């Protein structure tokens, strides 16, 4: 019997809305997109066909932005790709408190909230937008002996050598918990350190060097 191999992937629903604050008119479309994953752990979706949607549903709207509303708790970062906009114009994004990404075409023609917005927005914008979900740092608990704990606390030591079995990434947080081997118990003292770099540890296979830095001043 032939077995069929199945692969699972994550799909999210994206609401794309074109708004006109003056008239109150709007056009909305719901689409489903597959989440991709970058090497640094960020997830992303690529949205195409926005100018066509804009023209079909809101030809009369000018000096407006497209709101991409993602039903996800993560903060979003949007970038336009696929070449430079026309007339050497720039593209900026802003993020509202409810995690909506507003994508504007920047020019020197008009002004909106401190940014200039082209009246020919749909003609100038790239037809391909990549919306990135930045990977959220993990908190990783690690046991540490009193002498190394003190070295981290005082700033004498700014790295950890650990077995590479926890999926460490830059910007993850190490929660260092002091452990007394003589009493065979934790002391209750803890430190939090951010990973600033990761390199291989040549002296021992499957180990890495984790560069560390204080997240805030420890008392």
pLDDT digits 0-9 by tens, 15-72: 776 655 556 566 676 777 787 888 777 777 777 776 666 666 654 444 445 566 555 4
The residue ranking higher by pLDDT, 127 or 91, is 127
CA angle 52-78-100, nearest 5°?
A: 85
Average of pLDDT values for 172-189? 95
- The overall average pLDDT reported for the chain is 70
The 3-state secondary structure of the chain reads: CCCCCCCCCCEEEEEEEEECCCCCCEEEEEEEEECEECCCCCEEEEEECHHHHHHHHCCCCCCCCEEEEECCCCCCEEEECCCCCHHHCEEEEEECCCCEEEEEEECCCCCECCECECCCHHHHCCCEEEEEECCCCCEEEEEECHHHHHHHHHCCCCEEEEECCCCCCCCCEEEEEEEECCCCEEEEEEEEEEEEEEEECCCCCCEEEEEEEECCCCC
CA angle 62-68-69, nearest 5°?
A: 130
The confidence score (pLDDT) of residue 152 equals 95
CA angle 213-175-185, nearest 5°?
A: 130
pLDDT (tens digit per residue) in 82-118: 444 444 444 455 555 555 555 554 444 444 444 444 4
The residue ranking higher by pLDDT, 39 or 154, is 154
pLDDT grade, residue 4 (50/70/90)?
very low
The confidence score (pLDDT) of residue 117 equals 47
The residue ranking higher by pLDDT, 34 or 178, is 178
Q: Which domains does the chain have, with CATH numbers?
A: 11-133 (no CATH), 139-214 (2.30.130.30)
Question: Is the pLDDT reported for residue 213 higher than 70?
Answer: yes
- Provide the whole-model pTM: 0.49
CB-based burial of residue 7 (10 Å sphere; 0-12 exposed, 13-18 middle, 19+ buried)?
Answer: exposed
The residue ranking higher by pLDDT, 12 or 65, is 12
The confidence score (pLDDT) of residue 88 equals 40
pLDDT grade, residue 77 (50/70/90)?
very low
The confidence score (pLDDT) of residue 18 equals 61
* C-alpha distances in Å from residue 174, one per residue of 37, 65, 106, 161, 162: 24, 40, 41, 12, 11
The confidence score (pLDDT) of residue 118 equals 47
């Amino acid at each position: 019997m032939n077995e069929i191999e199945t692969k699972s992937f994550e799909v999210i629903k994206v609401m794309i809305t074109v708004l006109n604050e003056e008239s109150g008119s709007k056009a909305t479309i719901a689409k489903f997109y597959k989440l991709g994953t970058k090497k640094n752990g960020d997830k992303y979706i690529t949205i195409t066909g926005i100018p066509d949607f804009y023209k079909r549903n809101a030809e009369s709207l000018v000096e407006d932005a497209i709101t991409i509303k993602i039903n996800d708790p993560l903060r979003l970062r949007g970038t336009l790709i696929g070449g430079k906009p026309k007339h050497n114009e720039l593209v900026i994004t802003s993020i509202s408190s409810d995690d909506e990404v507003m994508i504007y075409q920047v020019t020197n023609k008009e002004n909106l909230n401190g940014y200039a917005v082209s009246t020919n927005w749909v003609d100038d914008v790239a037809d391909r937008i990549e919306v990135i979900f930045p990977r959220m740092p993990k908190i990783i608990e690690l046991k540490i002996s009193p002498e190394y704990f003190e070295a981290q606390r005082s700033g004498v030591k700014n790295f950890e050598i650990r077995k590479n079995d926890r999926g460490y990434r830059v910007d993850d947080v190490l929660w260092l918990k002091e452990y007394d081997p003589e009493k065979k118990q934790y002391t209750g003292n803890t430190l939090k350190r951010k990973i600033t770099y990761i390199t291989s540890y040549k002296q021992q296979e499957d180990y890495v060097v984790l560069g560390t830095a204080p997240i805030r001043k420890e008392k």
